[in-house]
A = this chain, B = another copy of it.
Amino acid sequence: MSRKITMKDVAKAAGVAPMTVSRAFKSDAVVNADTRARVMKAAEELGYVFDSAASNLRSRKSGFVAAIIPSLNNANFADTIGAMSRVLEQHGLQILLGYTGYSVDEEQRLIEQLLRRSPEAIVLTGGHHTERARELLANATVPIIETWDLPDKPVQHVVGFSNTTAMKGLVDHLISRGFTKIAFLGGDAAGDHRGQARLAGFLEALGRHGLDASRLISAGPAPVAMREGALAMQSLLARFPDTEAAVCVSDLSAFGALTECQRRGLRVPEDIAIAGFGAYDISAFAHPTITTIDAFPTEIGRKTGQLIVKLLRSDEVPVDPQIEEIFPQLVVRQSAP
């Protein structure tokens, strides 16, 4: 195997200095058009591949944005990452992804690991972190953005929404439609803090209207998906057979709950109404369609990307923490009209 081809080789072939090659490869640098063409031709012929590691080291810019999400396998988070990515790649930034499996300890480990790559910004999901993670983030001198939540004590910037308020809105809707025996199907307290915030909104809405808030079914640790939704519905029907409406922590669990009802011959919404959260595709295509809340994951991603670009541009000037609130929308469909 031959020696690696470097800028020096390209420079020699093109009859210029390495520095000129460097400039030719930087799109916004000042280079004579002919010179650049000559350099690019030489590079192409030699099969030169630009070495980011060396560039990073010298310029102290990694071109990475670290993004940490609970799970890869979740359409909502995938949408956010996709939208963010589309904005960032316009500016030469690449996403370095990590997923926590809904564990703050794993999140801390990921932060430690990702920091070694010198990300230019760090995007987190939610506002719950270990003490050490908060320390690490405080010492990092790059923008930190928390998303998918509206934390009480933000680390720095936020692009998110209140899961509590959003869920409260949905439950208020159910109450306004005359439902009084309403249950919540969700996960346990560990891990999914967004789920807990939704539960808080549920309890708040019921409390305001003086309704019984004891119909709470826990499906165990996150992720709470179809299987867990189906099992939770089984528990619910066993323990509280007279329930009129079941509010689920996500559309996936709502769908699981819905199919469990269908297996038992229960009609939705006539026998029991069901609502979800997240406006996943399935909520629009299930039969019946599922009432849900659209938190606009794509908008979260796009705005997060734009915020990062803005913050990196404003360079050394410290910018006050930005709080961008997203306003989720109630989507009333057949399962809970």
Contact = CB atoms under 8 A, between A and B. Distances in A.
Interface string A61-101: 01000000000110100110110000000000011110100
Contacts of A141: 1
Interface string A202-237: 000000000000000000000001110010000000
A54 interface: yes
Interface stretch (A12-20, A110-118, A122-130, A145-153): A110-118
A49 interface: yes
Contact of A116 (B51, B78, B116, B287): B51
Interface stretch (A172-180, A192-200, A255-263): A255-263
Nearest to A76: B73
Given A72-B78, A225-B281, A281-B227, A57 B53 contact: yes
B262 A285 contact: no
A32 interface: no
B281 A226 contact: yes
11 contacts: A49-B115, A53-B62, A53-B117, A72-B81, A73-B75, A73-B82, A94-B117, A226-B282, A255-B282, A256-B285, A259-B285
Q: List the 4 closest pairs (A to B, CB-CB), nearest first.
A: A73-B78, A53-B56, A226-B285, A262-B287
